[in-house]
Structure formats: C-alpha cells, structure tokens
Structure 1
Amino acid sequence: MLQGKVTTTPLEFEKTIWEMERALEAMKARAKEDPAALAEEVAKLEKELGEARQAVYTRLTAWQRVQIARHPQRPYTLDFLERLAPGFLELGGDRAFGNDAAMVAGLATFGGRKAAFVGQQKGRNLKENLRRNFGCPHPEGYRKALRVMRLAATFGLPIVAFIDTPGAYPGVGAEERHIGQAIAQNLLEMSELPVPIVAVVLGEGGSGGALGIGVADRILMLENAYYSVISPEGCAAILWESRIHAPEAAEALRLTAQDLHQMGLIDEIVPEPEGGSHRDWDKSAQLLEGVLLRTLEEVCALDPGTLVRRRYEKIRRYGVWEEKGD
C-alpha cells in the first residue's frame, strides 16, 4: 500500500503545476549546499507555485473533477479502511452464488464504535482490476453487501457505505443473475433498515451501481468525486453521438459535489488535500475521519423509528416537479 504523500502522474491540466513542483524540489536540493544563495529564488518559486495551484484548483471544471475522481492513484475503499478502521474484518460471499471481489463488506471498530462497512473496490493494476472487475459489482456483490447490512441491523450497528464505481457490471452473466433485481432489493431494504446509514462517495458514483449501496440517512461526498445517472462519455454518446463532447456533458449533468450539494441531493462535501486525494492518502483519510465521526454521532443519537421516517422523507424530497390541472 502507498503511504502518506504519493508521487503521481499529472493530469493534462496539472502539467504546468507539476513542472513547477519538480523545479522547486530540484532547487531546494541545491539550496541545501548553500541556503543563503538560493533562499530568494526558492521563496519566489514557492509563491508562484502557490498562485498557480490556487488558479487551477479553485476553478476546476466538472470534467477536470471527473478526471481527478478517476485518477489511478486515488485512494479506494480498502485504502480508507486501512487508515480509518485498521481492524476491518472482511466477510465474503452472498450465500447464494459466490463472492464478488468488486464489493467489500465486513465489520470494524471506528472511533470506538462498532460498525459495518460496505464499498466498491477497484484494482491498482491489470491483474487486480480483472479480479476486482474494475470496481463494477455483479449481483452477488450487492447481495453480499445486503447480507452484511442485515447483519448490522440484527446487532444494532451503524452502516457506512463507500461508493466508488463506474457502475454495476452490465454483462450477460450479471443480467442472467438479475443485477436489476439485486439493486432494487438493496434500495428497498436499505430504506427500511432500523439502523443509521451513512454513504460516502469517494470517487466515481456511477448510476444504479452507486445507488445500490447509496440509500442513507446522510450522504457525504469527497470534494472531487462525482455522482451521476450516467457517465459523461455515455451522455455525450447519446446526445452528441460522440464521446469527445464528454466535457460539455459533464457540465450539463451537474454531477459534482458542489452542484449536488446546492441541489440538496447530498448533505456535506468532505474537503480533500490540495490537488486531490491521490496526492496525500493519509491527509485525505484524516479529513474524512473528522466529518464521518461527527455525522455518525448525529445519526446514532436518533431512535430507529425517527431514522426510518426521516430517511423516507429525505428520499421523497428528491427532485422538483410541478402539478398542473387538466
């Protein structure tokens, strides 16, 4: 596992910043031999780098945030669990077909509180991605998650769901084993579970694959994550008949945490380290930990009846409509 600050490959819009960072590192290395001679140049470059970062990262477009959410070195579910709940005990299998490695589920102690965790998991290389199915769960993945959530309800444990998937797997095998039914069953039962549920969108929140573990009392979203009914590329292919219009589609979909919070579809935005969570896994986990601890404290204080009623009311508030007479 990568620890702390991570050396990353720059995204297209970050290349100027990346070059300045490399130049600053080289200058600081030279300055160790004669600090006084290069102190002024180091200070000047640090100031220019800070201004460049602010210019880019405070005005990110929707498409740029999608790129950050998909960064191959962004921390995934197990990376956060390693830092937030190091005693995580993973449970496998749906007791019907098999074990889906694209979905992880289990029990852990977090902040002194026992809890159940479920979440999608991607791979770091081709071999691992094939095993994890690129973070796209099969029906048995959703049934496994539901099995663990039912277990949590039996013992009165809160549930934390980490969302990070391009979408549920759309292959023939998944359809044969009723992927739509599995997701629908999760939506139904999660809306009625008498225990607190907190969902956190870590990176990609793709369509029904994300919703399958996304019914919750509180929905948190990392600053550079996205949550959408369809990918920008898929939307562009339908509306413009070309995936090259994905940046325009991303803007039109209003899929960023900032847009969704403004529309009342998520409850809180979790800040990330400057440039994205992929730059510093430990700091990103620390930022999430504070928000998650506070949120769990709030929802765990509610009785089961109030939880379920408010969850239902929350879902009913989604969307805007207008009724007209005949």
Structure 2
Amino acid sequence: MKFDREIDFPASQKVPLHVDAQNLQGKTLLITGGNSGIGLESAKQLAKMGPDKIILACRNMETAAQAVEAIKADGIEDVEAWELDQSSFDSVKAFTKRYNESGLDLHILLANAGVLPMKASRTPELTNDGHELIVETNHLGTALLTLGLLPTLRRTAAKANEHQLPRVVIVSSDVHYWTEFSPSKQEGNLIKVMDSETSWEDVIVRYYDSKLLNIFYGQELGKKLQQSQIKEDKQIVVSIVNPGLVRSRAEIEDPNSRLPAGMRELARDYTQGCKTHLFASIDPSAGKPGEVVYYTNCAPVEPADITLGKEGDALRERVWKDTLQVLGVTVQDFQW
C-alpha cells in the first residue's frame, strides 16, 4: 500500500476514532513508556476498565512515580512502575528476568516505548551496546523485551480461554510508508550496517527506518509463534499499531510550538490518539493468533509495499535473522 503525505496522511488524521470499553477484570497489563504522552493516556484509559494490575515500564523513574499516582486517581490501586531502558540490553534483560520470576501473568503487553531525538546529528549516536540509539531503543529493545517475556506469555496462554489470550501490541507508525530503507541495499548484518556512518542520513530518516523494523519484526514474530512446537505460542496474539500524529493538547494549541501550524491542525491529542492503541489491546475483534494485523484508525490496513510479496518476505526474514544475531539469541533458545 502507498500512503501519500499530502493526500492520504491529512485524510487519515481526520477519521473519527471509536473504541468500546471492555471488562479487564482479572488481567495484568504492561505498558512500556507509560510515564508520559500517549503511553500514559493509554494507561489511564485502561485503568478505568478494571484490570487487576498495571505495570509501567519506564526509563525515568521520577516521572514514572508521578504517572502511577495519576493512574491511581483514575480508579485502580494496583499500579507499579518498574525501571526499563530499552537502549540498554542489560536493562531489558534485568526487567524480563524480574517479570518472569514475579509469577505475574501478562495479558496485554503494549510495547509503546520509543525515541525520536530532536537534535540533528551528522553521525549516528551509539549506545553502550554499540548500536545506533534509535534502532536499539525502538526495535532491538522491543524485540529483546518481547522475546524475553515469552515464558510469562506462555504461562498466561496456558490458563487462558479464547477471550483472555495474551496480546502483544507493537507500536509502529505511518512514517514507515515513507522510508526507502536504504541500509537494506548494503550487504552484511542489517543492524550492524545501521550502526555505521555509511548508512546514516539523519535522525528523522532513521526514525522512519525503525518504525519499518517494528513492522517486519512484529510480522515475523507472529509467524514464528504459529510455527512453534509449543502449543501456547499459537495462542499469543501479535498486532501492530499506528497512532498517527499525536501531541499534547497544550502543544496543539500553542502558536509558538515547533510543530508547524498545518501539522498542529491535523494532530490528535492524547485522549484521541491513544484509541488505536486501546483498540488493538482490548477489542474482541482485534487480533487473532496467526494473523498479524497492522491497525490504523482502529481498523486493519495494509502496510507499506516494501513489506509485501517475495521481496518483502525476504527482507522480513533478513531483519529477523540479523536482529537475533545482534541480540545474541537463537531460535533454539525459545524452543521453536
């Protein structure tokens, strides 16, 4: 599918959004990046539906503590903030170890955390793990988190009926339509290519690339779960969502905002912008095991042409293989 910036994008931003509240009693929710923005608003809205527990996985524990109190004010007492920095493999591994050993179930994993540095850079910024910051935070960290939480997801699936199947919701973006994904033209491990200066253009292009990686990873994760010899894997739902252009109400109304006036007119505030997050996380019609659907405006749509056909299949498999290689894991580690 093609998605034109001048025609399709403005039209998409004007589509009315609707999601019905569900009864989340008995469910445990994990929201990454739940301390601010669309992640926090998603948590607030989900809290009103009566889940047993919400865990916010956050890098900034000071704002996370404030978010916990704000969510508790919306009607749920059992809310916790756990530290998670997706730009650090050690942090992600510590988090998944803690969760798996906690004995908690995991009914909804809303993988919302991401980063878009606003400062221009002529060269890629590398993490302590040696990977480009945007790719590690948005893609590698998300991949390591979801793979690391498989033991808990499987345990949850083993106890679930058809209305309680665990859901993994990966947040991408419509900007994935607008990347040419030039690093894929180079040979070698794709992630390592993206760590090098030879593939670097700027932070915006790399952000677009990272959101395409989210699509490829989510699609292949769903495929691998269905091919697994472990029956519980076949009961885990994987979906991918695009929230569109979302900003705070204050920024939308601020004439001095860095966001151009035309974009401010199109932007949704967090209350509206979180609805596709919610739809994929809770709606009974959203997501079935084996069907990795990309949702925009609370409805399934086709992702970018680069993800389709034989070329899309080959690129998706390359992303998966190269991602696992840099993460230092194998399919055998997950008994697939």
Give the TM bin, normalised by the shorter chain: 0.3 to 0.5
Q: TM-score, normalised by structure 2?
A: 0.35
Point out the structure with max Rg over C-alpha: 1
Task: Specify which structure has the bigger relative contact order, considering alpha-carbon pairs within 8 angstroms and separated by 6 or more residues.
Answer: 2
- Normalising by the residue count of structure 1, what TM-score does the alignment of the two structures yield? 0.36
